[in-house]
């Protein structure tokens, strides 16, 4: 092959290569311009939509979508901020929810911090502005929760809804409904045929059996939250841990002041004492028979102290005059009486009167003779304990004390 032919072949190859490289460059330039003109996406537009979400969105919550960091400055939604008091005062937008149709409860269990907050008229007067009577519930001794429904709910429906979980509650619980006509709260019973818009439920945190347990408290709070959700109501439920801590601390305090005092009058020079001689003393002191106890009342009509008569014979307490007495037991429940020292003095005066008339002797709980110095010490102790109760906001003999020490 001649040199001319070789030169032509080389020139042809070089020309073809130059044309190929030129076409590639032009194609690349056009592609870059096209990409600059089209909007960028956060992922492959051909990929299935479900693949973009990291997890399934829960009902009522917007799904979380990843945003490219380079696009954050373009089209980014403003961050939410807390509403000012003036903005919160603006009436909410009307709801399209039919108030006559109750909501079905959620399948997932509600936590102790759950809050059911539906659109209600917060400015409407009603049970929310009227305190619950202290004998039924307060914010000190109870977990007191309220529900405001958008429409009246039959009491029988409420009772049926909460019956299953409320049967697992091992502390006293009060169900109260607010009567719009009278402006007062009333206790609710299963047989009530009325309806309520305002409901208050109080779970007592402490009694003489101890503080409420975590399971009981969680059952109560979750049950109230579900009840509000089921019948379209609003209820703010408190966090669980602070309530448990408050219950335990209150129980420890109550245990430190819980004194149930008793003393005895025993036969001294004989084996028995005459019930015939005791009967007129009981009547003169105004003691009232309650079951197997004789109860002395204070000026307000509340219990001051009690007397139990034990005999060698099997006569009932109302036939005390026929008894051959072997022991008289005088008792005073210090947290449950209003004037502890004064009631103790009355009890001691009556016990001494019985001792003199029946030929007996004073003894302590261990049936040992009770000296005057010990009696003075006991009286001082009663004063101290009741002062501590009053300082804590638990009036001795008051409604709160009667509930906590039950």
pLDDT tens for each residue of 149-189? 999 999 999 989 988 898 889 999 999 999 988 899 999 98
CA gap 230, 250 in Å, rounded: 33
State which of 236, 254, 272 marks the end of a domain: 254
Residue 223 lies in a domain: yes
CA gap 128, 117 in Å, rounded: 15
pLDDT at position 394: 95
Residue 91 lies in a domain: no
Residue 168 lies in a domain: yes
Question: For 214-264, what is each residue's pLDDT tens digit?
Answer: 999 999 999 999 999 999 999 988 999 999 999 999 999 999 999 999 999
pTM over 0.85: no
Provide the domain limits for residue 298: 259-399
394 and 266 housed in the same domain: yes
Q: What share of the chain is helix, strand, coil (3-state, %, to 5)?
A: 40, 20, 40
38: its two tokens: 């089209």
The CATH number linked to 352 is 3.30.1400.10
282 and 313 housed in the same domain: yes
135 and 240 housed in the same domain: yes
224 and 157 housed in the same domain: yes
242 and 306 housed in the same domain: no
The CATH number linked to 173 is 3.30.1400
Residue reference for tokens 């969105």: 57
263 and 392 housed in the same domain: yes
pLDDT at position 249: 97
pLDDT at position 134: 84
Report CA dihedral (83, 87, 93, 97) to the nearest 10 degrees. 40
Q: Number of C-alpha atoms within 13 angstroms, CB side, residue 270?
A: 10
210 and 277 housed in the same domain: no
Residue 124 lies in a domain: yes
Question: For 76-121, what is each residue's pLDDT tens digit?
Answer: 333 434 444 444 444 343 333 333 323 233 333 333 333 333 323 3
CA gap 196, 227 in Å, rounded: 13
Residue 215 lies in a domain: yes
State which of 254, 282, 307 marks the end of a domain: 254
Residue 282 lies in a domain: yes
Residue 225 has phi, psi (to 5 degrees) of -60, -45
State which of 254, 273, 288 marks the end of a domain: 254
Residue 10 lies in a domain: no
CA gap 189, 173 in Å, rounded: 12
Which is higher by pLDDT, 62 or 153?
Answer: 153
202 and 307 housed in the same domain: no
291 and 307 housed in the same domain: yes
234 and 278 housed in the same domain: no
Q: Which residues, in sequence order, are CB contacts of 238 under 8 Å at separation 6+? A: 112, 113, 143, 145, 221
Residue 206 lies in a domain: yes
pLDDT, averaged across the chain: 79
Q: Which residues, in sequence order, are CB contacts of 42 under 8 Å at separation 6+? A: 52, 65, 66, 67, 68, 71
Question: For 284-332, what is each residue's pLDDT tens digit?
Answer: 999 999 999 999 999 999 999 999 999 988 889 999 999 999 999 999 9
Task: Name the domain count of the chain.
Answer: 2
pLDDT at position 87: 43
218 and 303 housed in the same domain: no
216 and 275 housed in the same domain: no
CA gap 341, 313 in Å, rounded: 34
């Amino acid at each position: 092959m001649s040199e001319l032919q070789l030169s032509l072949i080389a020139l042809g190859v070089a020309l073809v290569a130059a044309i190929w490289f030129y076409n590639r460059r032009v194609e690349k330039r056009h592609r870059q311009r096209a990409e600059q003109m089209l909007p960028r996406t956060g992922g492959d537009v051909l990929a299935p939509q479900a693949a973009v979400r990291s997890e399934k969105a829960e009902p009522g919550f917007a799904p979380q979508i990843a945003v490219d960091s380079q696009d954050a400055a373009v089209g980014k939604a403003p961050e939410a901020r807390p509403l000012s008091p003036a903005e919160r005062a603006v009436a909410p937008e009307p709801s399209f929810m039919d108030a006559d149709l109750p909501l079905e409860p959620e399948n997932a269990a509600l936590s102790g911090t759950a809050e059911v907050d539906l659109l209600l008229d917060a400015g409407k007067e009603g049970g929310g502005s009227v305190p619950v009577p202290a004998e039924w519930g307060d914010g000190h001794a109870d977990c007191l929760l309220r529900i405001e429904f958008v429409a009246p709910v039959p009491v029988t429906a409420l009772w049926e809804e909460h019956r299953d979980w409320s049967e697992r509650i091992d502390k006293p619980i009060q169900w109260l409904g607010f009567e719009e006509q009278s402006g007062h709260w009333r206790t609710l019973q299963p047989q009530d045929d009325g309806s309520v818009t305002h409901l208050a439920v109080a779970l007592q945190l402490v009694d003489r059996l101890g503080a409420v347990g975590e399971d009981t408290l969680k059952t109560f709070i979750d049950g109230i939250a579900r009840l509000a959700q089921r019948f379209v109501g609003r209820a703010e439920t408190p966090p669980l841990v602070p309530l448990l801590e408050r219950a335990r601390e209150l129980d420890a305090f109550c245990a430190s002041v819980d004194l149930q005092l008793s003393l005895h009058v025993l036969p001294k020079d004989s084996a028995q004492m005459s019930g015939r001689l005791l009967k007129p003393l009981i009547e003169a002191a105004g003691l009232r028979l309650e079951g197997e106890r004789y109860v002395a009342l204070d000026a307000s009509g509340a219990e001051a102290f009690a007397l139990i008569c034990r005999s060698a014979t099997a006569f009932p307490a109302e036939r005390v005059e026929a008894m051959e007495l072997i022991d008289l037991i005088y008792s005073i429940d210090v947290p449950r009486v209003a004037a502890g020292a004064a009631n103790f003095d009355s009890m001691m005066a009556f016990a001494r009167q019985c001792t003199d008339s029946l030929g007996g002797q004073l003894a302590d709980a261990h049936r040992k003779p009770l000296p005057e110095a010990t009696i003075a010490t006991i009286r001082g102790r009663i004063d101290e304990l009741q002062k501590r109760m009053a300082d804590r906001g638990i009036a001795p003999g008051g409604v709160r004390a009667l509930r906590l020490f039950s």
